[in-house]
Amino acid sequence: MESQPKPLVWQMIKEAVEVHGNRTTNLAVRDWILEHYPGVNVNTVLNQIIVCTVNHPSRVHYKENNAPRRCDDTYDFLFRTAPGKLEMYDPRLHGEWQIALNEKGVLYVRELKESSLDRKEPLNNVGGSCLEARQLRAYLAKHLYLIEEGLELYVDVSGNDGVGYPTDFGPVDILALDKSGTFVVVKVEGDNFPDVSSGQILKYRNWVRRHLAQGKPVRSYLVGSQIPDHVRYSLADCNDLFLKEYDLSLTLRDIPKINDIAVSPSLGKNLQDMPQNA
C-alpha cells in the first residue's frame, strides 16, 4: 500500500493547534509535528507559524505576505496572544487584520478598526540613508537567495524571526540558517558606510556564536552599495566573513496617452451628447 503524502507545513501547524484545543504554544506545535511527521525541518515550522499569524509584525518578511490585503486567506489562521503563545484566529474575538502599506511604501500589519495613523512605523527622525538600509533589509529578507542559495530566516521558540533579531549590542539586521543549519549573520548598510560597521558585525557574530550556536562556527555577510577600503582592511583576516555590494536598477515602461486609449461605445456616445463650447 502506498504511503500517503505529507501535508504542507502550514496544514501540519493548523492540525497541531486544533489538536491542542485551538490554543497552545510554538513549542507544543513544534514538538507535536516532529512526533507525527518526523523529518520536518524545525526552522521551517517556526517560520510558517509567523507566516500564518495575522498580528505578527514579521509576517510581512515572507513571500506569502508580500502585498497589501485583508487577512482572510489560506495563511491567516493564527493569532499571537503573547511571545511564544498562539491560538486559532477568530475575527469576532481578535478583530479584523490586514497587511497594509505606510506612506513610505513599507508593509506592516494592523487591525482594520484602527486609524491608519495609529500603527504606522515611526519614520520621523530617520535619515534618508537609514531608511534606505531598512528598506534594503526588508527586501533581502524576502529574497535571501540573493545573499546565498538555501538561506532561511532563523526563528526562535518564542516566535521571534531573524529580521532585526535582538542581541545585547542591538538588533542583527538579518539572522539566517544555511542548508547545513549553520547560523549566518547579515549586516546591511545603505549609501553611507559608518566606521563602526566592521566592529558591529563582529560583535553580532560572536554574540550569536556564544548564545545561539553553542560555540559552533558562525558565518557573516556585510552588504552595502560601496564598501570602503578601511572596512575591507578591518575584516581582511576574517575567513568566515564575506563582503557583497549591490547595484540598483531602474526600468521604464511605455503607457498609452489619453488619445491612444480605446473609448467604449457608451462613453463615446456620452461624450458626443455633451454640449460643446461656442
- Reading phi first (left if > 0) and then psi (alpha if -120 to 50, else beta), residue 175 is in beta
Q: Is residue 195 part of a domain?
A: yes
Q: Is residue 199 part of a domain?
A: yes
Measure CA 56 to chain center.
11
Q: How many domains does the chain have?
A: 2
Angle 50-108-250 from CA coordinates, rounded to 5°: 110
- 81/159 same-domain check: no
Measure CA 174 to chain center.
10
Q: Compute the distance between CA of residue 106 and CA of residue 68 in angstroms, rounded to an integer.
A: 10
User: In which band, very low, low, confident or very high, does the pLDDT at 2 lie, cut at 50, 70 and 90?
Assistant: low
- 63/136 same-domain check: no
Q: Compute the distance between CA of residue 165 and CA of residue 162 in angstroms, rounded to an integer.
A: 5
Measure CA 267 to chain center.
45
Instruction: State pLDDT tens for residues 60-90.
Output: 999 999 999 999 999 999 999 998 999 999 9
Instruction: State pLDDT tens for residues 108-141.
Output: 999 987 444 344 343 333 344 444 677 888 889 8
Q: Compute the distance between CA of residue 77 and CA of residue 94 in angstroms, rounded to an integer.
A: 11
Q: Compute the distance between CA of residue 102 and CA of residue 97 in angstroms, rounded to an integer.
A: 15
- Reading phi first (left if > 0) and then psi (alpha if -120 to 50, else beta), residue 227 is in beta
Please give the average per-residue pLDDT across 30-39, as a whole number: 95
- 93/150 same-domain check: no
Q: Is the pTM of this model over 0.95?
A: no
Q: Is residue 259 part of a domain?
A: no
Residue type, 203: K
- 103/142 same-domain check: no
- 161/212 same-domain check: yes
**Residue 140 structural domain:** 128-245
Cα 199 to Cα 36, 221, 232, 233, 259: the distances in Å are 44, 13, 12, 12, 59
- 137/207 same-domain check: yes
Residue type, 125: N
H helix or E strand, kind and range, residue 34: helix 26-36
Q: Is residue 96 part of a domain?
A: yes
Measure CA 117 to chain center.
22
List Cβ neighbours of 4 (8 Å cut-off, separation of 6 or more).
none
User: In which band, very low, low, confident or very high, does the pLDDT at 203 lie, cut at 50, 70 and 90?
Assistant: very high
Query: What pLDDT score was predicted for residue 97?
Result: 96
Q: Is residue 46 part of a domain?
A: yes
Q: Is residue 61 part of a domain?
A: yes
- With a pLDDT cut of 90, the percent of the chain lying above it is 57
- 158/230 same-domain check: yes
- 17/76 same-domain check: yes
- 34/101 same-domain check: yes
CATH number at residue 214: 3.40.1350.10
- 100/136 same-domain check: no
Query: What pLDDT score was predicted for residue 131?
Result: 44
- 101/134 same-domain check: no
Q: Is residue 168 part of a domain?
A: yes
Angle 67-165-140 from CA coordinates, rounded to 5°: 40
Q: Is residue 266 part of a domain?
A: no
- 239/168 same-domain check: yes
> What's the chain's Rg over C-alpha atoms?
24
